Amino acid sequence: MLGYGCTLTVGIGVPIPILSEEILSYTIVTDAEIFGAIVDYSDAYPNMKPDILGEVSYAQLKSGKIKLKGKEVPTASLSSYPRAVEIANVLKEWILSGRFLLTELVAPLPGVESGITFKPLKERPIE
């Protein structure tokens, strides 16, 4: 893709230990229950406007087409699902063969309570 600089395509295999019913309930969420926003890349996104055109579920996106403002719009992915499955299977093999073990946590990932916020990128011309 042009205009975005270098592209780094990274796949990460993350094991989720099922230690409680609560964790289990989060892992059995289906594609139909995961939602993403439809964002306008022509105006809203480059001008950092928060408006969205709607929400769609991953099930709808994976079907190959969605309906937006009465029109049918084709959809496809931008990241590789087959490669993600490959990585997941490598991790699975490591776990099954005992080469990847569950350990005590090193440090918790910061949540909302940490007070860490994201700053938007303000593009400035090179002077």
Partner 1 sequence: MVVSRRIVLHFPKRIVERPIVCRLVRDYELEFNILKALVTPEEEGLLVLELSGEQEEYDKGIRYLTETGVRIQSLSQNFIRNEERCTHCGACVTICPSGAFELDPATRLVDFHDEKCVACGLCIKACPPRAMEVHF
Residues that bind partner 1 (CB under 8 A): 1-2, 7, 9, 62, 64, 74-83
* Least distance from partner 1 to the Cβ atom of residue 7, Å: 5
Residue 82 host element (H or E): helix 81-96
Question: Could you tell me if 68 and 88 are in contact, meaning their C-beta atoms sit under 8 angstroms apart?
Answer: no
Q: Which is nearer to partner 1, 1 or 106 (CB)?
A: 1
C-beta neighbour count of 26 within 10 angstroms? 10
Question: Could you tell me if 44 and 117 are in contact, meaning their C-beta atoms sit under 8 angstroms apart?
Answer: no
Q: Which is nearer to partner 1, 69 or 124 (CB)?
A: 69
Q: Which is nearer to partner 1, 50 or 82 (CB)?
A: 82
